[in-house]
């Protein structure tokens, strides 16, 4: 092989190597930017809106046995509750008859937090008049029916309950004072119910209400032998309207002279 052929052969080998290297380099995929070089991702902003709530009562002051209408309005709330009532709709009204002055408390919970609302209802409990003290010469006096009902008033109960309320306890205390000063009087206590529920259930409930009043009189010093109880259940209604104020009139223990 001559000198020219030898140089041509070497140049061919070098050219082939360059082409092979270029092809090898071109086969690699282009690398994208390093995610770490792009900085931290921006956290998504919250679109949750804080809930709002209002709670009102109409009227805000009532006499014992009357009713009041609660009215509430909320926004952006998922769960709404009122103490003593339970979970309620986001907006609504409800008629209640509290036995004592009550602070109604509403809690509204939503994705944006929790908010509360309050309204106070004042209940005016009448004070029974103090009965006159009889002298010794009047120990056998039966007194008049009008005086008896003035100083021995009927007592009222909450729905489906025979537990004496605070106003009933005060009434029984005054009744015991009057009966103590008139030892000749014997008493019959009638238990009454509103018209909801079965007749059999209300007969038992009426008897329990009459016995609760009797037990209170006995605890106040009146002999049990002077007291008789009877249950009328829902058979004798004092009021026949289908309303809370009417039902309240029928939930009572009534005192009468047992002649």
3-state secondary structure 13-68: HHHHHHHHHHHHHHCCCCCCCCHHHHCCCCCCCCCCCCCEEEEEEECCEEECCCCE
Q: How does pLDDT run across 162-210, given as a tens digit for each residue? A: 998 888 888 888 899 999 999 999 999 999 999 888 999 999 999 999 9
DSSP-assigned beta bridge partners for residue 75: 52
- What is the number of structural domains in the chain? 2
The CATH number for 187's domain is 3.30.1330.60
CB atoms within 10 A of CB 176: 19
Helices 199-219 and 166-181 meet at what angle, rounded to 10? 60
The whole model's pTM is what?
Answer: 0.49
Residue 23 lies in a domain: no
The reply to whether 108 and 157 lie within a common domain is no
Own/partner long-range contacts of 12-21 (Cβ < 8 Å, ≥24 apart) = none
Region for 96 from its dihedrals, namely left if φ exceeds 0, alpha if ψ lies in -120 to 50, beta otherwise: beta
Residue 31 lies in a domain: no
The reply to whether 246 and 176 lie within a common domain is yes
The reply to whether 208 and 104 lie within a common domain is no
Residue 130 lies in a domain: no
| Radius of gyration over every alpha carbon of the chain, rounded to an integer in angstroms | 42
pLDDT of residue 137: 39
Distance in angstroms (rounded) separating the CA atoms of residues 238 and 208: 19
Residue 60 lies in a domain: yes
Report, as an integer, the average pLDDT of 73-91: 93
**CA angle in degrees (0–180, nearest 5) for 7-11-17:** 150
pLDDT of residue 225: 93
Which range of residues forms the domain containing residue 215? 136-257
Residue 30 lies in a domain: no
The reply to whether 251 and 183 lie within a common domain is yes
Say if strands 61-63 and 113-124 run parallel, antiparallel, or are unpaired.
Answer: parallel
Cis bond leading into 26, ω under 30°? no
The CATH number for 99's domain is 2.60.40.10
Q: How far is it between the farthest Cα atoms of the chain? A: 166
pLDDT of residue 146: 84
The reply to whether 171 and 245 lie within a common domain is yes
Distance in angstroms (rounded) separating the CA atoms of residues 172 and 145: 17
Chain-centroid distance of CA 220 in Å reads 33
Domain final position from 76, 91, 124? 124
Q: How does pLDDT run across 84-100, given as a tens digit for each residue? A: 889 999 999 999 988 88
Among 119-128, 130-139, 231-240, the least confident range = 130-139
pLDDT of residue 117: 95
pLDDT, mean over the chain: 81
Residue 26 lies in a domain: no
The reply to whether 162 and 226 lie within a common domain is yes
The reply to whether 145 and 62 lie within a common domain is no
H/E stretch holding 215: helix 199-219
Q: Quote the percentage of the chain above a pLDDT of 70.
A: 76
> Is the pLDDT assigned to residue 17 strictly greater than 90?
no
CB atoms within 10 A of CB 179: 26
Q: Quote the percentage of the chain above a pLDDT of 90.
A: 44
């Amino acid at each position: 092989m001559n000198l020219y052929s030898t140089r041509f052969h070497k140049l061919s080998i070098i050219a082939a190597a360059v082409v092979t290297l270029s092809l090898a380099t071109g086969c690699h995929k282009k690398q994208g930017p390093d995610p770490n070089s792009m900085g931290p991702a921006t956290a998504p902003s919250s679109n949750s809106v804080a809930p709002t709530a209002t709670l009102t009562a109409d009227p805000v002051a009532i006499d014992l046995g009357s009713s009041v209408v609660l009215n509430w309005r909320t926004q952006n709330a998922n769960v709404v509750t009122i103490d003593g009532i339970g979970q309620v709709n986001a907006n609504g009204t409800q008629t209640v008859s509290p036995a004592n002055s009550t602070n109604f408390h509403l809690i509204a919970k939503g994705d944006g937090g929790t908010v509360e609302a309050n309204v106070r209802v004042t209940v005016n409990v009448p004070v029974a008049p103090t009965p006159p003290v009889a002298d010794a010469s009047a120990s056998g006096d039966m007194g008049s029916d009008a005086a008896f009902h003035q100083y021995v008033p009927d007592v009222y109960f909450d729905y489906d309950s025979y537990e004496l309320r605070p106003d009933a306890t005060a009434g029984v205390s005054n009744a015991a004072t009057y009966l103590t000063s008139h030892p000749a009087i014997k008493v019959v206590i009638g238990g009454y119910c509103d018209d909801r529920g079965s007749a059999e259930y209300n007969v038992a409930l009426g008897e329990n209400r009459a016995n609760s009043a009797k037990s209170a009189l006995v605890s106040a010093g009146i002999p049990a032998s002077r007291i008789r109880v009877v249950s009328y259940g829902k058979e004798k209604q004092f009021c026949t309207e289908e309303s809370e104020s009417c039902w309240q009139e029928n939930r009572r223990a009534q005192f009468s002279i047992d002649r």
